[in-house]
Amino acid sequence: MTEQRMDTICVQGGYHPGDAEPRQVPIYQSTTWKYDTSEHMGRLFDLEESGYFYSRLQNPTCDLVAAKIAEMEGGSAAMLTSSGMAANFLAIFNIAEAGDHVVASSAIYGGTYNLLSHTMKRMGLTCTFVAPDCSDEELEAAFRPNTKLVFGETIANPALAVLDIERFAAAAHEHGVPLMVDNTFPTPVMCRPIEWGADIVTHSTTKYMDGHAAYLGGVIVDAGKFDWMAHADTFPGLTTPDESYHGVTYAEKFGLEGAFITKATAQLMRDLGPMQNPQAAFFLNSSLESLHVRMPRHCENGLAVATYLNNHPKIRFVSYPGLEGDPYYETAKKYMPNGTCGVVSFGFEGGRAAAETFMKNLSLCQIATHVADARTCCLHPANATHRQMNDAELEACGISPDMVRLSCGLESSQDLIADIEHALSLV
């Protein structure tokens, strides 16, 4: 069968029922599996045979949905996690631990920034942040002998900076380490980072993939292209025997295409346990069936709202990578020629106070700590997700105190603009 198009993969990827099997992805609502002999179960535990035994490690419903997302991203293997944060943590911790170092774009999700700058620091891991548009010299200077990976976001939440994926991939590969990209905002419908050189792709499926503010979730996709064995000394966790797993050497036994996800499952999911549950996976799958229809509409509404705001005298700036004149417009055109996402950030001539007044007077656009939902939602990051940061840290993430993040849903853009117009008239 020839490689299918995104629309078809969204609808039918992952699960291919046989004769007289359920048309819908079955929900395997079971924590455990029954076997006739302990020898059989022993082979599963030894990773000699693949099969299910306990849903903390693997569940068939989750695997079918992960397989669909792997196909959407053009990757070799994937695993679902209980949240996007769990996906980012497991993906990083799978190859970087105490004593290691990460190079990360400073324009990333606040939770991931905290994870790298504070929580993982307590685990002995250090991180150097670079601006997504830093000079080649700055990027080069960020690497250290113990650097294990480079991390960035295709479109940063909430700064809306676009990562030059090819450039960051080239720098990572020059140093013999993989590029990890959080592709939550564009989704594979608008951008497939693996095609541009990314090695590992993560998502918060809580956002557009679910798209209905119903279920938390995350996913890790491996491109299956990074040659761990060629950099065996850098990645001993993949290239030397795992004592905690009967001495298995993941890169040898599972090859380029399977090593990363197998280790993350057999070792990290086993010991840390942030597994997705099969019901959430089922709902995620239903949402994925319309992702290719929803994303263009989110982008269309985002562009309409960004264009309106850009021409408004009370608005100090608008960030939207799909808007001509935006600093990331050209980069976005290259990586996302058909649209970026539905999220628009903007600031007010009247500063922080104007942002607060504006937020109070919206009605259709609702205040929520969320983005990428069918319903338009709005957030003032300096007062919410980023309140723990001081002004200098905010600045480094590309966030000003007057910045509001509006996530355009699937409503009529005329109704959205009318609501914004009303709130702006009172600022």
Residues in contact with ligand PLP by the rule CB under 6 A: 83-85, 88, 109, 111-112, 153, 157, 182, 184, 204, 206-207, 216, 218
Distance CA 322, CA 351 (A): 24
Contact 407, 376 (CB under 8 A): yes
- CA neighbor of 79 nearest in space, from 177, 231, 200, 187: 200
**Residue 253 Cβ, how far from ligand PLP at the closest point, in Å?**
31
Identify residue 159 by its one-letter amino acid code: A
- Local structure of residue 230 (DSSP, 8 states): G
Q: How far apart are CA 259 and CA 263, in angstroms?
A: 6
Q: Which is nearer to ligand PLP, 111 or 236 (CB)?
A: 111
- The dihedrals phi and psi of 153, each to the nearest 5 degrees, come to -120, 135
In this structure, are residues 417 and 300 in contact, taking their beta carbons and an 8 Å threshold? no
Lookup: tokens for 190: 């608008």
CB nearer to ligand PLP: give 11 or 216.
216
182 versus 242: smaller Cβ distance to ligand PLP: 182
Choice between 58 and 276, CB closer to ligand PLP: 276
The residue (of 248 and 281) whose beta carbon lies closer to ligand PLP is 281
Please name the amino acid found at residue 296.
P
Which is nearer to ligand PLP, 111 or 176 (by Cβ)? 111
What is the closest distance, in whole angstroms, from the C-beta atom of residue 296 to ligand PLP in the complex? 20
Least distance to ligand PLP, CB of residue 4, Å: 27
Residue 373 CB, nearest approach to ligand PLP (Å): 11
Name, in order, each residue with C-beta under 8 angstroms of 345's C-beta and a sequence gap of 6 or more: 158, 159, 160, 318, 319, 320, 403, 404, 405, 406
> Are 53 and 33 contacting, i.e. CB atoms less than 8 angstroms apart?
yes
- The CB-of-223 to ligand PLP minimum distance in angstroms stands at 19
Q: Shortest Cβ distance from residue 85 to ligand PLP (Å)?
A: 4
